[in-house]
């Protein structure tokens, strides 16, 4: 079992950048597909991005393509989400989650191990 722990959230102005990190304890993170999902107040949790076990494959929600980049460093047991050109609608709690499935899924139910989340607020 793996326990993800997110960090790096905060307040940023529209158009700004932020990088959130997800470190894993317990079983090595390289055994899992890792995704970033987010939940805004009053909305359902939604898929943002995911990366395959060795980092060869990635997938992004249409709303963040071209602005967000997911990456991983398995030697450091850490996954990153670089967020550029941030918009107010990106404001949400961002969760890191591990999936034991064979291929990347955009469904939150495909992710088995969740972190506690980190707040990202985009506001002037």
User: Is 83 in contact with 71 (CB distance < 8 Å)?
Assistant: no
Residue 26: per-residue pLDDT: 72
In this structure, of 26-40, 82-96, 109-123, the range with the lowest mean pLDDT score is 26-40
Nearest to 120 by CA among 101, 102, 94, 97: 94
Residue identified by tokens 């939940």 is: 39
Residue 99: per-residue pLDDT: 96
Average pLDDT over the chain reads 96
Angstrom distance (rounded) from CA 19 to CA 44: 23
Residue 1: which pLDDT band, with cuts at 50, 70 and 90? confident
Neighbours of 66 (CB within 10 A): 9
Cα 32 to Cα 18, 72, 97: the distances in Å are 24, 11, 9
Residue 9: per-residue pLDDT: 95
- Per-residue pLDDT of 62-72, as tens digits, reads 999 999 999 99
- Per-residue pLDDT of 22-53, as tens digits, reads 999 877 789 999 999 999 999 999 999 999 99
Residue 76: per-residue pLDDT: 92
User: What are the residues facing 119 on neighbouring strands?
Assistant: 93
In this structure, of 12-16, 21-25, 37-41, 94-98, the range with the lowest mean pLDDT score is 21-25
């Amino acid at each position: 079992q793996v326990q993800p722990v997110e960090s790096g959230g905060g307040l940023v102005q529209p158009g700004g950048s932020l990088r959130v990190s997800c470190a894993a304890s317990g079983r090595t993170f390289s055994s899992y597909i890792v995704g970033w999902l987010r939940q805004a107040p009053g909305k359902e949790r939604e898929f943002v991005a995911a990366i395959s076990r060795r980092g060869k494959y990635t997938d992004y929600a249409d709303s963040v393509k071209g602005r967000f980049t997911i990456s991983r460093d398995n030697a450091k047991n850490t996954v990153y989400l670089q967020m550029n050109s941030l918009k107010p609608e990106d404001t949400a709690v961002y969760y890191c989650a591990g999936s034991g499935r064979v291929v990347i899924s955009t469904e939150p139910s495909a992710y088995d191990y969740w972190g506690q989340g980190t707040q990202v607020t985009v506001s002037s």
